[in-house]
Amino acid sequence: MRLADFILSSVEPILAEWEVFARSVGAGEHLDQLALRDHAGQILQATARNMKAPQSAAERAKKSKGLSPPQEGDTLDGASESHAVDRLGLGFDLLEVMSEYRALRASVLRLWDESSPDEHDRDVDDITRFNESIDQSITKAVASYTSRVDQARDMFLAILGHDLRNPLNSIGMNAQLVPLVSTDPAEAIACGEQISRNVSVMERMIADLLDYTRTRLGAGMPVTPASLDLGNLAVELFEEFRTANPARNIQLRTEGDLNGQWDSDRVRQAISNLLGNALQHGSADYPVTLSLRGEASNVFIEVHNGGDPIPPGELQKIFDPLIRGSSAEHPKKNRPGSIGMGLYIAREVAKSHSGRIDVSSTAEEGTAFTIRLPRGSAPREGQPILDAEHIDEM
């Protein structure tokens, strides 16, 4: 059987191997079959049709250089572009996307060989055409992936510039007022307090940006694990948020042994981000609940709120500030002093402690973010442990 015909007749076993490989990639570990297979079926069928279509030497030369326009009705390019964008939204990095195509190429050729096809004088040509189509698909996927990242980065920088400008303008205005009210101590103190508050807002934004940059560059989230009672930390945060939000119903629940080895500042940062997110996006008609539960090897931290659920299409990309989208029904909005990185940083804090964070969201049950922290969580392999001096140098 010719290779193109084999592909069309063996889509299901090829997709089964694609699914197994995609699940082995970090971002695909908890995806269902539909998400794992994504556009793979369309890519396979379009590849086979592309292989069967007549092709001149000139057309082959153009295709090898990425200059050949798609044929009418050919979905190869469109499927690859859509696949790359979807994988980006699910948290796959570019190397993981490319590895899927590498695994697909290997699976098709191996399964075809195992089928003991009759020898044909066009076998070499079939393999060449197959590799050309896969390479064309990879090229389109990479271009689509990088284009979407560039668009998201530009938007992110625009939002960052806008959000930093507001406190900076306030600082400038109050600095100009200080000499004018110097004879009135109360007014001068008020201006100084306003300047201090806005400096704190900018410091939080810049700190989030530095954390984001470190993790994106592969340095990881710096952590310094030490003995910590998460119950005491939770009480402190509970009192802090309840005082700052007197109109909201905030509850605390603890259960079991909550002691372990964690970085107190980082875990505080993660929980604070989740509580701030819950207060911002949850309905004031429902309580925001911080729950901690100690089990034999892990401690689970859950922040729950009621209100409108997160749209299903947003759940897989909710932790990435460059990818997380918005719609007319669910516009993206950041709370004061935030540049939309709270959930991303919470995820990185969990990962830096060899843990994980999960989210569930339904209209009936509300929205819950759950962090699992191994009780004796050493940093994951390759994760730096840095002291304050080294952190400041990054």
pLDDT in tens, 134-167: 988 898 899 988 888 887 777 677 767 766 777 7
The predicted model gives 229-244 an average pLDDT of: 94
The predicted model gives 117-131 an average pLDDT of: 83
* pLDDT per residue as tens digits for the range 303-343: 999 999 988 767 777 887 666 544 434 444 554 444 567 88
- Identify the residue with better confidence: 123 or 350: 350
Share of the chain above pLDDT 90, in %: 32
The predicted model gives 246-269 an average pLDDT of: 94
Residues 6+ apart with CB under 8 A from 147: none
Angle at 29 between CA 27 and CA 30, to 5 degrees: 105
The predicted model gives 63-77 an average pLDDT of: 57
Given a cut of 90, whether residue 302 has pLDDT beyond it is yes
The predicted model gives 287-296 an average pLDDT of: 96
Q: How far apart are CA 34 and CA 294, in angstroms?
A: 34
Mean pLDDT of the chain: 81
- Identify the residue with better confidence: 199 or 215: 199
Categorize the per-residue pLDDT at 75 as very low, low, confident or very high, splitting at 50, 70 and 90.
Answer: low
Length of the chain as a residue count: 394
Lowest mean pLDDT among 50-54, 252-256, 374-378: 374-378
- Dihedral sign, CA of 314, 320, 323, 329? positive
pLDDT at position 69: 57
Other Cβ atoms within 10 Å of 242 Cβ, number: 15
pLDDT at position 66: 58
- Cα-based distances in Å from 174 to 171, 192, 232: 5, 7, 38
- Identify the residue with better confidence: 86 or 247: 247
pTM score of the predicted model = 0.61
The predicted model gives 8-12 an average pLDDT of: 92
